[in-house]
Amino acid sequence: MYGYSRTYPGTTWTGQCASIFTTRLTPFTISLLGLRASQSLPPALAAPESPQDREHEEPDAERRIMASFVIDIDEWSMRALIGTASKHQASALRHALYRHLTTQTFVGPTFVVRGEYRMFQLAFHLPYYAWRDAEIRIEDHRRDNNGRPMRKSRDASYLNWRSKGSHSFFYEAQTSCVVAGSDIRRWVGYCFVESYFDVDNEARDTPMAYYEESQGEEGMLMDPCTFGWLRLDDNIKDPREWFLVVFQHRLNQINGEWRQVVRKVEQSVRDYEKVAGMSASSR
């Protein structure tokens, strides 16, 4: 599991398994984020307690923005995220974790009003199946309360009519993103993706992969939440714009996964028709 953290004037990015940096990405371990969870959030990340507090802020006050990107979320990464969330972010994070873990489908806005304090939420939760051709099945290392893998996988090798020796599997997966805040100056984003079914040397959608691609003379640091399409230097400050960009590219990614499943099944049907036709003609 990997993640990243980014800090610069006006915006702070945090994620699973990374360290604070200023101009370049560096990987980190989950224990470092856990250490940060035990410390109080800096003022720049704490939302104002009331609308009156917001009115007394200086016009040039630092923007309070935080986004987290997590691969294959597990117990320890959830502990770290919960430990770093403010009380105003707790509701959004709670719903995000619940819908992600239970593979719910949801797209839409939510508004929370508590007295004079108002919070908005923009969220999408998209379940899908990922088809992979491999020699062996990759089991999800995460476990539910009954000790079973959190995400199920199924052997689809019986669909390979053309080559009997090949093996195929499809895996349950979920991509979730939630943006929550009090206004466009103070918001937090959470993006949870899964790639447990990809072997380490083939997995592209990890912060470590983005980090390695950014190294070099012409390397650029890309935002993992956008599937590597948006540069972190672009520094989108409007939560609505950032949410829509993430939604666009993650939806395209999931659409590609679903298309691959459909292509494989269609090819299996065509191959079966050929085999069945040959068997019928030989009788």
Other CB atoms closer than 10 Å to residue 237's CB: what's the count?
Answer: 14
Q: Alpha-carbon distance 137 to 154, whole Å?
A: 8
Evaluate whether 84 touches 37 at the Cβ level (below 8 Å).
yes
Closest C-alpha to 30, from 75, 93, 67: 75
Query: Average pLDDT in the 182-194 region?
Result: 92
Reduced to 3 states (helix: H, G, I; strand: E, B; else coil), residue 119 is strand
- Mean pLDDT taken over the chain: 78
Does the pLDDT of residue 79 top 50, yes or no? Answer: yes
Does the pLDDT of residue 247 top 80, yes or no? Answer: yes
Helix, strand, coil percent content, the chain, rounded in steps of 5: 35, 25, 40
pLDDT digits (tens, 9 = 90+) for 203-213: 677 777 777 77
* Separation in Å, CA 21 to CA 7, 24, 56, 242: 6, 6, 31, 21
Closest C-alpha to 33, from 65, 74, 90, 62: 74
Torsion angle of alpha carbons 63, 17, 177, 156, nearest 10°? 170
Evaluate whether 92 touches 188 at the Cβ level (below 8 Å).
yes
pLDDT digits (tens, 9 = 90+) for 128-182: 999 999 989 999 999 998 999 999 999 999 998 877 778 999 999 999 999 999 9
Evaluate whether 141 touches 194 at the Cβ level (below 8 Å).
no
For residue 170, what are the β-bridge partners? Answer: 131, 154
Torsion angle of alpha carbons 110, 144, 29, 153, nearest 10°? -90
pTM of structure: 0.80
